[in-house]
């Protein structure tokens, strides 16, 4: 049986294990969306993961969802990321940048711009702003000429990611952000070629992936998806059909991987495993749900056909998570109050496991 600690070949990368550090927003970037020395230390501490996927990185100004998040759309941002990727590589790790366009999940106080989306349908919930949580504002619907521009923004950020030293990129197609909004049957009310039918609703995702593959190569490109998820009020009326069609089209591009969140029933996810011919990463537990992913969850999904398993919150308080999983050691709890507060407390202050003398 496949073990979580078996090696794996992912494109041009040799992964020493099948543990993936999932992308997690930590809002520690400096002004201007710059990566920081603390971010370099944070990711380097976790470099024993087979693969690290960074926090969401905005591809342009209008794509920024939260204050304090980093970007990859200026030369200064690229330069700021090089010490981060260099620190991970020096520690023996591998790191992909997650390219995240927030779409309608944003606020003009954060970006200075009105958020955009496939349609003028407001997200459900409060968004973070520099002055605190506020109700999500109505977005501006992208016009027909703007949609391909936003699809290409992922590719442009991917080129910058490679220049910054990342090993590849993961497009954030999940959790109610822009790609997910286009996939949705209630956030996307378009009547042109980017809406309506399943073929129309998957078009934006496919074009963003195709542009990115063309920019940096298929072996360096992955995508994260959340079938059936309802984050920020998105709904998908035909999940099996929608994601079967999407994975069929993505398979033609031969990307490095698809990263599925456990946001649909297990039978739906295992059916998608049968559809998808390439590398599959699975995050076995609902993001921000009551349960964190553990060793049993990982082993179960490896048995169900996953090639790699991603762990999110467990990596926050356990920089040595791979060794804790390998040795059956206790998984330390994280302090939720420090998730987004900024500073090094609850960021760089979690120690590796201490063995009794």
Of the candidates 68, 330, 289, the one whose C-alpha atom is nearest the C-alpha of residue 175 is 289
Rounded Cα distance, 325 and 19, in Å: 10
Q: Examine the residue annotation and report whether 177 is marked as an active-site residue of this protein.
A: yes
Per the structure block, which two tokens stand in for 14? 């040799």
Rounded Cα distance, 34 and 37, in Å: 10
Percentage of residues in the chain having pLDDT higher than 70:
99
Under 8 Å between Cβ of 136 and 105: yes
Per the structure block, which two tokens stand in for 208? 């963003």
- pLDDT confidence of residue 124: 98
Under 8 Å between Cβ of 218 and 180: no
Under 8 Å between Cβ of 50 and 18: yes
Q: DSSP code of 5?
A: T
pLDDT of 357 over the 90 cut: no
Active-site pick, 42, 43, 154, 177: 177
Bridge partner residues of 310 (DSSP): 20
Percentage of residues in the chain having pLDDT higher than 90:
95
Rounded Cα distance, 98 and 343, in Å: 22
Per the structure block, which two tokens stand in for 242? 């929608």
**What pLDDT digit, counting tens, does each position of 258-313 carry?**
999 999 999 999 999 999 999 999 999 877 666 788 899 999 999 999 999 999 99
């Amino acid at each position: 049986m496949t073990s979580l600690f078996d090696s794996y070949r992912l494109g041009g990368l040799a992964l020493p294990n099948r543990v993936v550090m999932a992308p997690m927003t930590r809002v520690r970037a400096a002004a201007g969306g710059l990566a920081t020395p603390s971010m370099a230390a944070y990711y380097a501490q976790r470099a024993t993961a087979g693969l690290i996927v960074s926090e969401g990185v905005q591809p342009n100004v209008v794509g920024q969802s939260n204050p304090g998040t980093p970007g990859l759309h200026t030369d200064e941002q690229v330069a700021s990321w090089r010490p981060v990727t260099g620190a991970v590589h020096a520690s023996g790790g591998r790191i992909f940048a997650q390219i995240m366009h927030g779409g309608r999940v944003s606020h003009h106080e954060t970006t200075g711009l009105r958020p955009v989306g496939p349609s003028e349908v407001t997200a459900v919930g409060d968004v973070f702003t520099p002055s605190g949580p506020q109700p999500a504002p109505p977005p501006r619907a992208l016009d027909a000429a703007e949609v391909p521009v936003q699809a290409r923004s992922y590719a442009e950020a991917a080129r910058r990611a490679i220049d910054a030293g990342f090993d590849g990129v993961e497009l954030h197609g999940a959790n109610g952000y822009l790609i997910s909004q286009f996939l949705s049957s209630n956030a996307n009310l378009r009547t042109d070629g980017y809406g309506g039918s399943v073929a129309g609703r998957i078009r934006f995702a496919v074009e963003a992936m195709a542009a990115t593959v063309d920019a940096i190569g298929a072996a360096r490109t992955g995508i994260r998806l959340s079938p059936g998820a309802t984050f920020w009020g998105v709904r998908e009326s035909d999940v099996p059909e929608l994601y079967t069609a999407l994975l069929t089209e993505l398979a033609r591009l031969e990307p490095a991987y698809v990263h599925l969140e456990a946001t649909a029933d297990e039978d739906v996810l295992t059916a998608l495993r049968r559809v998808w011919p390439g590398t599959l990463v699975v995050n076995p537990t609902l993001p921000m749900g009551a349960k964190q992913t553990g060793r049993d969850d990982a082993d179960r999904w490896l048995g169900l056909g996953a090639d790699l398993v991603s762990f999110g919150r467990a990596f926050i308080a356990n920089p040595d998570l791979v060794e804790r999983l390998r040795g059956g050691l206790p998984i330390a709890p994280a302090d939720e109050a420090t998730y987004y507060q900024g500073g090094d407390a609850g960021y760089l202050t979690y120690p590796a496991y201490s063995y009794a003398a």
